[in-house]
Structure 1
Amino acid sequence: MPTYVAPPGWPAEVRPPDAPDWERTAQAWLLDLCPPEFRSYPALRRHLVVLARFAVLHVEACQAAVRRGLSEARADLRDVAMPDVVEAAVQTWLAEDARLSGVRRAVGLVEEALRGRRFVARL
């Protein structure tokens, strides 16, 4: 019986590389990460490595937006919101930054697997 290995950080929604239907689950997950318009581009639906590259760049753009929002939040919001609301906004940016860091790792791993990398189990 074959053993399929997914490394730490691999998305739960995607089957491990070489498992039955793993590429179909990867495609569905990658499309869910991207803007809905990406579903209408035939090149992205037919070429998973290209879709993965688009997804990586999209997630990285989201990370850049979050970091900008975090860096500007206190100055931009202090005149329009109470200090506790500003702090809640900062905490929200921090939580989103942490979430996107995990997503970036996961999408990078899927891209590597689509490019042919295989992972080995470690004890």
Structure 2
Amino acid sequence: MTSPVVSTKSRDDLGALRRECGAWLKERREAAGLSQRDIAAKVGIEYYTFISQIEAGRGRVPPERYEAYAKGLNVDPREFTMTMLRYNEPIMYDLLFKDEQKAGSVQTSGPALSDLEKRLALLESKLMHD
């Protein structure tokens, strides 16, 4: 019998990733012009305070809400799911997408992706208001 793989991510690393995820979600929500109450309603989460917990890194988006959350934020559901995996399940993400990361076809840099998304959201906002 083989021994189980031991996680190389410490609790502190995982906490930091969860906070980064919360910041990413908050950036997306604000770029979409939504309040925490707005996104809670779009996602079907009864208490908007749960959105606050998620954005603070103290909670996670339930996987059964990924598609609704993505649509609420105007993010591609596949991209949203991959981002949630990258932040919340980094070992699984690496196992699934390790080859794509090496080839450069999967975005692994949170800040670079966020900067691009911010610029796109600003451009969309300007186009819609012109």
User: What TM-score, normalized by structure 2, do the two folds share?
Assistant: 0.27
Q: TM-score, normalised by structure 1?
A: 0.28
